[in-house]
Amino acid sequence: MRLFPSFAKARIIGVLALCVVLLAGCSVLRITYPQVPALAYWMIDNYVDFTSAQATRVREQIGQVYAWHRSTQLPVYAALLQRGRSEIVADVTPAQVCRWWDEIAAQANKTFEQALPAIAEHALTLDAEQLAHMQTRFDKTNADFRKDYMQADRKDRLKEAVNRAVDRMETLYGSIDDKQREWITRELAASPFDAELWFTDRVARQQVVLQTVRRLQRERASPAQAQAALRVLADQVQYSPNPVMREAQERVKSYGCDFGARFHNGTTKKQRQAAAERLKGWEDDVRALATEPRGASGPPPT
C-alpha cells in the first residue's frame, strides 16, 4: 500500500500488473488485467512516441512479457494473497509490513529483468526527436508531481496526503471512521517524506536516463552493455547513489512500514474481516487469470 510516489517508470509492466493485482476491486480485476499489454504500450508510447516499425515490435515484446508474467508470476501473487489473508486478521509488526513491501518489489524486479532485453534494444534505437519527446513528457510528469505533492500551502499538502492514504486504506479495509482519519492526519503531519528532496532527485535522475541513452548510442554499445547500464539506472531508483537521498528513502520506508502496522493494529474486527474477504476475492481472481486462456476474461488488447 503506497503512501508515497513511485518513480520506477522503467518497470512499467511489472508495476501495472502489481497495481491491478493489489489495488483493483474484485469485480474488475479479471477485466482489467488482460488490458495490461495495451496499458503498458500506451504509457510507454507517451514517453517516446514510437515509429510504426517500433510499435509493432514493442507490442510483440510486451505480449511476450505479459504471457510470461501471467503464467509464472500470478501464481506467486496468489500465494502472497493467501498468506496475507491469514495474517491480516491478527496484529502485525512493522517488520511484517516491510517484508511485504520487499516481496512485492522483488516480483516487480523479476518482471523488469524479463523486459530488460527489449528495453535495451529500443534504448539503442531512439532518435533525437524521441529523446526530446521524452524530455517533454518528463516535464509534464514533473508538473503533475508538483501539483499532487508540492502544494504551496502546507495544510493543502497534508490534506491531499491524507486523502490519498484514506483512499488506499479503504480499498483494503472498507470505510474508516472519523477517529481513524484523524489518526492518519496526525501521523502524516509528522511524515519524513520531503517532496522537495524527492523532486530534486527525480529531475536529476531523469537527466541521467537521457544522458545514459545518448552515451550508449554514441559508444555503439552492445545489447549486453546497454542492459547492464539500464539495470544500474533501475537499481538507483530503489537505492539512490546519493547518500542524502538514500537515507531519506530508508527513513520513508521505515516510516511507511510502521505507519501501516500501527494503522492495521487499530482496525476493528469487522474491518479486518472485510480486508481478509477482499484479499480472498483478489486471490480467487488471480488464480483464475493464471489458468484461463488469454482473452477469456475480456477483449484482447489492441
pLDDT of residue 28: 65
Among 87, 88, 111, which Cα is nearest to 36's?
Answer: 111
pLDDT of residue 29: 74
pLDDT of residue 295: 52
d(C-alpha 180, C-alpha 266), whole Å? 8
CB 162 within 8 A of CB 185: yes
pLDDT of residue 8: 39
Among 196, 118, 89, which Cα is nearest to 150's?
Answer: 196
pLDDT of residue 31: 81
Burial 71-96 (b: 16+ CB within 10 A, else e): eebbebbbebbeebbeebeeebebeb
pTM of the model: 0.86
Residue type, 92: V
**Domain boundaries along the sequence of the chain:** 9-291
pLDDT of residue 237: 84
CB 275 within 8 A of CB 173: yes
Sort 293 into a burial class: Cβ within 10 Å, 0-12 / 13-18 / 19+: exposed
pLDDT of residue 10: 36
Q: Quick one: DSSP state of residue 265?
A: H
CB 125 within 8 A of CB 216: no
> What is the chain's pLDDT, residue by residue, as a tens digit (302 residues)?
344 443 333 343 344 444 444 444 444 677 888 999 999 999 999 999 999 999 999 999 999 999 999 999 999 999 999 999 999 999 999 999 999 999 988 998 999 999 999 999 999 999 999 999 999 999 999 999 999 999 999 999 999 999 999 999 999 999 999 999 999 999 999 999 999 999 999 999 999 999 999 999 999 999 999 999 999 999 988 889 999 999 999 999 999 999 999 999 999 999 999 999 999 999 999 999 998 765 544 444 44
Q: Which three cell numbers stand for residue 216?
A: 550508449
Length of the chain: 302
pLDDT of residue 80: 93
SS (H, E, C) 148-167: HHCCCCHHHHHHHHHHHHHH
Distances (CA, A) of 54 to 14, 43, 213, 252: 21, 15, 17, 39
How many whole angstroms from its chain centre is CA 98?
A: 16
Among 296, 299, 290, 298, which Cα is nearest to 78's?
Answer: 290
